[in-house]
Amino acid sequence: MKIDPANLDYKDTHDLLMGCIAPRPIAFVSTVDKDGVFNLAPFSLFSPVSNQPPLVGLGIGTYRDGRKKDTLLNIQSSKEFVINIVSESLAEAMNKAATDWPIEVDEFKEAGLTPVRADIVKAPLLGESAINMECRLKQIIDVGDETRSSSFVIGQVLRVHVKDELYVNDEIQISKLKVIGRLGAELYCCTSDIFEMKRPYTLK
């Protein structure tokens, strides 16, 4: 089978890419609007961009009618956000927060989750998450057309919060973190089946 994305519509292209690129980490992003209302939403177009400076990237698409999502509007306004990592215990709450709530709705309350004051940014940390990354907006790259566009948000990581029991000998204990990943369609995966391979060379 050979597929030319140029011949596909938005949804089919989305489904193709999401099925090919899997599993994907999930950024559970918390922001705050100009009125102080908290927002919390998951995004699986999420990746590290650079180590020095420490940058992360987040892809945020528009709604079907072309409107910008609350997360993007808040980031554009405040220039800050927090990325919270999703473990197995957060799966159901994360899914509930993914509902297209009106902009005035606090997803923390709707999903029964706890906002915690951050050290540097105004957006709250997610108390139930084992890892939180406080970020400041570095750049937004807009792609697409007026009807269905997408924004790639690049943020600089200012501070990382890790639960004490998960950080041993200066290393995050991945096996204990139990993160989940996003697959195609409405499928997710766990990371409990982990194996190790030593590199055949060492970079100097």
CA distance 79 to 65: 25
Q: What is the pTM of this model?
A: 0.93
Q: Is the pLDDT of residue 202 over 70?
A: no
Residues 6+ apart with CB under 8 A from 12: none
**pLDDT tens column, 138-157:** 999 999 876 778 999 999 99
Which CATH class for the 5-186 domain?
Answer: mainly beta
**pLDDT tens column, 173-183:** 999 999 999 99
Is residue 179 classed as helix, strand or coil in its secondary structure? strand
Q: What does the block give as tokens for 40?
A: 């919390």
Three-state DSSP string of 2-67 = CCCHHHCCHHHHHHHHHHHCCCEECEEEEEECCCCCEEEEEECCEEEEECCCCEEEEEEECCCCCC
Q: Are 83 and 156 in contact (CB under 8 A)?
A: no
Concatenated DSSP letters for 180-201? EEE-STT-EEE--S------SS
**pLDDT tens column, 60-91:** 999 888 889 999 999 999 999 999 999 999 99
Amino acid of residue 159 = R
